[in-house]
């Protein structure tokens, strides 16, 4: 199954709160969720980090699950997309800042069943492999070394690794090679994990396989629009 991640930002003149509210209450309900090929659909709204400065790169993430490439292509040809979701996007999103990744997601720490809502907050980290490292080497290190380190974080409830699909590399170099999803009970649990030796080990390991210039992190709250049971 294709797990598509769409990172989006508000159009000029719209606040982050207005952007997130429109996405959840209007775009997701009236337009995107009506595309018949979408099996599951969630909107992740960004939570501001303490002490942050400047404008964030993105203010939310759409997570879309599609059965296969054929259904993905078909979804882009439907009137629900062409006459609905696509036409609505400029009303609220800065589409020139949007980043889309088609990924294959692997479950490392299952947590609650995938068909159940995982409560709390989630950290999503986008990563690009270190210069000179092949995609295969990056994925191997991510699975065999980085995943065990991350799995030891105190308070971690669920952990997924999403790797950019192979087909992308046949066309061009994707902006990112992976997205990591880490769930915690709440923001307090997330912050408690941040000051631990386990977190220090995770951060140190990024230097072994990731280009830190292209390592981005968002703390989000996941809102299900279609699912999580799917259709």
Residues 20 and 127 occupy one common structural domain: no
* Enclosing domain of residue 16: 1-97
In the prediction, which pLDDT does 3 show? 98
Greatest CA separation found in the chain?
52
Residue 84 and residue 6 share a domain: yes
Q: How far apart are CA 75 and CA 66, in angstroms?
A: 9
Q: Domain count of the chain? A: 2
Contact, 167 vs 124, CB < 8 A? no
For 125-159, give one letter per residue: b (16+ CB within 10 A) or e: bbbbbbeebebeebbebbeeebbebbeebebbbbb
Tens-digit pLDDT profile for residues 14-49: 999 999 999 999 999 999 999 999 999 999 999 988
Last residue of a domain, one of 97, 126, 156: 97
231 — pLDDT class (breaks 50, 70, 90) = confident
**What's the whole-number mean pLDDT along residues 102-128?**
92
CATH number of 182's domain: 3.30.70.100
Is the pLDDT at 51 greater than 80? The verdict is no
Q: Of the candidates 82, 97, 112, which is a domain's last residue?
A: 97
Instruction: Read off the pLDDT of each residue in 74-101 and give the average, rounded to a whole number.
Output: 96
């Amino acid at each position: 199954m294709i797990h598509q991640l769409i990172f989006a930002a508000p159009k000029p003149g719209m606040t982050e709160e207005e952007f997130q509210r429109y996405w959840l209450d209007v775009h997701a309900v009236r337009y995107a969720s009506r595309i018949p090929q979408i099996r599951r659909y969630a909107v992740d709204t960004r939570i501001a980090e303490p002490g942050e400065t400047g404008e964030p790169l993105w203010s939310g993430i759409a997570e879309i699950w599609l059965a296969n490439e054929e259904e993905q292509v078909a979804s882009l040809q439907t009137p629900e997309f062409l006459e609905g979701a696509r036409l609505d996007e400029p009303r609220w999103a800065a589409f020139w800042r949007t980043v889309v990744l088609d990924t294959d997601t692997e479950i490392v720490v299952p947590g609650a069943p995938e068909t159940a809502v995982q409560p709390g907050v989630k950290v999503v980290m986008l990563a690009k492999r270190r210069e000179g490292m092949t995609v295969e080497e990056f994925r191997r290190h991510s699975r065999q070394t980085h995943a065990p380190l991350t799995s030891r974080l105190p308070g971690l409830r669920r952990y997924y690794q999403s790797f950019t699909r192979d087909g992308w590399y046949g066309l061009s170099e994707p902006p990112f090679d992976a997205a990591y999803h880490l769930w915690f009970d709440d923001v307090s649990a997330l912050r408690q994990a941040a000051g631990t030796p386990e977190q220090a080990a995770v951060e140190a390991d990024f230097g072994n396989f990731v280009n830190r210039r292209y390592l981005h992190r968002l703390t989000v709250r996941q809102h299900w629009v279609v699912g999580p049971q799917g259709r």
